[in-house]
Structure 1
C-alpha cells in the first residue's frame, strides 16, 4: 500500500472500480470494472497534476466495511503528505453515500476528499464518467474547497457527504440531500476499524410481525438500524420486538424509507416513534438507513455517543 510520491502539489486519485471503470461484455451485456485509475484520468482530460492509486476494483454493492476501512486508512495516510492538495475517490454509486459518510465522520484535515463515479460505463458513447472525474479533480485542487469535509460531485452537482442519498437509478444527476440545506458536520471521531461491527438494516412494512426483529436479535448484533415508515414509525408487533431488543442492550436507530425530510419521533402507540424513543431508540435525523448504519457502526467502533454522529 504505497502512495505515489511527487514533488510539488498534486491531487491523488484513488480508484475503487464502479461503473466509471466498467466496460460492457459484448456477449452478455454485463458491466464489469476493467479500467485502472490511470485509464480514467487519461480519459477525463484534466490539466491538474495527478497521481493515481488503485485500491480495489469492484462494484460498490460489494463494498465491505473492510474495504471502507482501507479507504479511510489510505486517505489518512495520503493527507500526511503536504504536497497533496486534495483526494478524489472514484467509486460505484450504489454505496457512494455510505463510503462518503464513513470518510467524513473521521475527516480531520481541511483538504477536500471528493467522491465521484458514473451512471454509464466507460465504453458508452455518452459516458458521463470523464466529465465527473474532471470536475472532481478540479474541486480537490481548489483552495476554496478546503474546510468543507468530504464531498460528492456528480452530474454537475456537488454535495456534502452528510445526509446524501442516491435519488435515481439511471439519471446523470443521481444524488440529492435529504435536507433542504447542508447539514452541519459533527466533530471528527477517532479512526477505528469498522470491519467486524455487525449492524443490520431491517425494513419495516405495514402490519409487520415480530419475527424478523426477533430472529436478528437472537443472532446478537452490535446494533440495529430500522428503515421505518413515515417520520419513524413501525407496526405494533415490530415496535414491541424492538423494545425487547433495547431491553437486551442492543442500540436501535430508526431511519425512514421516505426519501426526503427528517426523522422525528412524534407518534404514540407501540410502534410509534415517540414510544420507541421513550424505550431508548434513537432517531437518525436526516440520515437514511445506509448512512445511519455507518454512523452507528462508527460510534460503536470508536466509543462515541451515537447521538453525536447521528446529529440528533
Structure 2
C-alpha cells in the first residue's frame, strides 16, 4: 500500500448474499450465491482510488431468508468496525427485502458514520451486470464526509435514497428502487456524491437481543375479506399492523374484532395504497379512521405496512411499556421533515 492509498478512508463492506453475489452455474438451473465480498471488491479496480476496503462475507442467502437477528448482529459488528476506525460501512444483499432491512438498520444505527445498503438486479455473470456500478457508488457514498449523520442510505442505480422512504417498485428493472412522494435524497455523479435533501434523524433504538425479538403480524385488507387471520393474530402475536383501505378504513364487520385486538396488543393502522399519510379526521362512518384511531389503533403516518411492522417490532422488543409503541410512532412519524 503506497502513502496515497494509506490516506484514503477505510470502509467496511459486508456481504449477505443476494443477486449481487450470484452467478448461474449451469444454463437453466437458475442463479445461486457464489461470489464472496472479497471477490466483489476485487472485481472493481476503481475502488482502490476511493477507499481502503475491509471486506467480509457474513452470509450467502437470498434476502427473503434474512432474519432480524442477522441484521441486528450485523449492525453491532459494523458499529464495532466504526469504533475501530472505519469511516463508513456498506452492506450488500438481495433486493427483495432491502427496503425493510435498510429501515431496520437505520432505526438501530447509533453512529455518525454512513451506513449504505446496496445490491443488484442482475447476477454477477450477466451481460450488463449492475452490481459493480452499485457497489462503486455505495462505497463512494460511504466514504464521503457529506454522508455522515444521515443514518442508513440505499444506493442503487446511482441514486441515493433514505432508508425510511425507499421502496422496491419493479421486479426486474435496474431502476427498481424509488422513494414515492419524496424522490431520492441525492445522486452519485462523475464520482461525486451530490445531496439535494435530507431528513432529521430521531433517537435510534437500542439493539435488542436475538431472543427478545417481538412477533408482529402484517395483515392487508382486501375487498369482502373476513376476519379469520385478524382473530388468529390477536391471540398469538405481540403486535399487529393493518394495511387498511384508502386513508385507513376497514369493513364494518372488522371494527369489533379490530378494536378488541387493540385492547390485547398494539395495533398499527396504515394504508394499502402505497403513498400518503393515514387520515385522522376526515371520515366518521363505521370502519373509518376516526373510529379506529379513537378505539386505540396507532396511526402509521406515511409508513407502509412493511416498514410499520419493522418499527413496531423494535418498539415492542425494546420496551415493556404499554405506551412505548405509540410513542415510537409519534416520534418517528411526526418528526420527519424535508430540508434543502
Is TM > 0.5 for Structure 1 vs Structure 2? yes
Moved over 6 A (4+): none
**C-alpha separation between the residues in 1 aligned to 2:302 and 2:25?**
39
Cα 1:194–1:201 shift into 2, 3 Å: farther
Partner of 2:160: 158
- Contact 2:150-2:201 at 8 Å conserved across structures: no
Cα 1:143–1:158 shift into 2, 3 Å: same
Structure 1: runs of 5+ lacking an equivalent: 1-5
Give the secondary-structure state (helix, strand or coil) at the position aligned to 1:264.
coil
1:212 paired to 2:229: yes
Partner of 1:224: 240
- Contact 1:194-1:301 at 8 Å conserved across structures: no
Q: What is the TM-score normalised by the length of structure 2?
A: 0.84
**C-alpha separation between the residues in 2 aligned to 1:214 and 1:288?**
22
- Contact 1:13-1:50 at 8 Å conserved across structures: yes
Query: Deviation at 1:8?
Result: 7.2
Partner of 1:72: 75
**C-alpha separation between the residues in 2 aligned to 1:218 and 1:171?**
40
Cα 1:268–1:310 shift into 2, 3 Å: farther
Q: What is the TM-score normalised by the length of structure 1?
A: 0.91
Query: Deviation at 1:223?
Result: 0.3
Superposition map of 1:99-110 within 5 A:
99-110=101-112
**C-alpha separation between the residues in 2 aligned to 1:12 and 1:154?**
18
Query: Deviation at 1:256?
Result: 2.0
Count of residue correspondences: 304
Structure 2: runs of 5+ lacking an equivalent: 1-5, 184-197, 335-340
* 1:193 corresponds to which of 194, 197, 209: 209
**C-alpha separation between the residues in 2 aligned to 1:302 and 1:115?**
24
CA RMSD of aligned residues (A): 2.0
* 1:272 corresponds to which of 284, 288, 298: 288
- Contact 1:210-1:238 at 8 Å conserved across structures: yes
Query: Deviation at 1:36?
Result: 0.4
Partner of 1:26: 26
